Amino acid sequence: MSEDFLKQLRTGNTEDLRTNPDPRELPRELDIEKFNNGRKFFQDNVFMCVIGMACSLIAGFSVANLLEPLVFTNKSNTPEKSLKRYLETIRHVALWHYGDIWDPLSSSRKSITKVYNLHTHARDSMMKEDRSIRRFTQYDMSLVQAGFIGFIIMYPDKLGLQGSKSQLNDFVYFWRWIGNFLGIQDGNNICINGFGDAYVICKQVENEIVYPALFNPPKDFYSIAKAFTDGLALLTSINLITPESAISFSLDMAYKKRIHNVNFLDKCRIFCLKAMVFLVKHLPWFRRMVNRHTESLIVPKSFIF
């Protein structure tokens, strides 16, 4: 990729997902050891990886390309619907990291194929209703890919993640192939050239797309974001996170100016998030405990050894 990564990625804004990303055998260029090491990094840090992905998702609601399909499908507009959708999504992601997507008969392969088909179905439905709409283009999926890995590779220390830069590079390598399965062509796959390029791209997405969008978000941003955090409260029985606290926590990680004047309760929520990072980072028993609890929620029992 060139140094102007976003300019190149935007060339995919008129291109559909790659068809039939469903290999029957291992690609010759696949380094299965690196791939499995990338899976292991997620497994070792599953709790904070999920937290990072959730914070990234909330901030990503401010980007029109990513928000419009959610509004159109009408499956994220209430806490109940949002919780169902989020749990389904993170359970798919867990299947990819804990199972074997290279086995055509595995539940992991069926999962990632289902997600690809859901994307193409949603795109086709949107275009049928409005022929001017083209969603889930290559560019859109580049942004989705950045959303899943961005916080994890940009702020591993701020999330209390355990692992070396080599392991982070393997995590990026893993997501190179996840992108391939999801129909992203090489020119729009932000993980294709390893950690270095992926890091720069994610910083550009953060600085040039997400951060400006947070100052002027689409009209449905807050309602979708609040439905998401209120949905999480249904799971935890306590409102541990709000859009304001999650975004402020994320901006603190990035050393960026907060866009909200947070109230006392949100200050407490931000403190709790940072306290969890400290505990995960410094207390191995606590990290193991929250990892196991997270696995019990999102990973099939047969996948946990």
Domain ranges of the chain: 5-303
Q: Which are the contacts of 74, defined by CB distance < 8 A and separation ≥ 6?
A: 81
Q: Is residue 26 within 8 Å of 102, Cβ to Cβ?
A: yes
How far apart are alpha carbons 82 and 71 in whole angstroms? 11
Other beta carbons within 10 Å of 40: 16
Sign of the dihedral through C-alpha 265, 266, 270, 272: positive
Angle in degrees, CA 59, 65, 68, rounded to 5: 90
Give the pTM.
Answer: 0.92
Residue 107, pLDDT score:
94
Q: Which are the contacts of 228, defined by CB distance < 8 A and separation ≥ 6?
A: 57, 58, 61, 76, 82, 86, 243
Q: Pull the structure tokens for residue 182.
A: 């999801």
How far apart are alpha carbons 5 and 188 in whole angstroms? 9
Angle in degrees, CA 117, 209, 204, rounded to 5: 100
Residue 305, pLDDT score:
54
Amino acid (1-letter code) at residue 252:
D
Q: How confident is the model at residue 41 (pLDDT cuts 50, 70, 90)?
A: very high
pLDDT of 214-257, one tens digit each? 999 999 999 999 999 999 999 888 889 999 999 999 999 999 99
Residue 121, pLDDT score:
74
φ, ψ at 255 (rounded to 5°)? 55, 40
Instruction: Report helix, strand or coil for 283.
Output: coil
How far apart are alpha carbons 199 and 190 in whole angstroms? 9
Q: How confident is the model at residue 296 (pLDDT cuts 50, 70, 90)?
A: very high
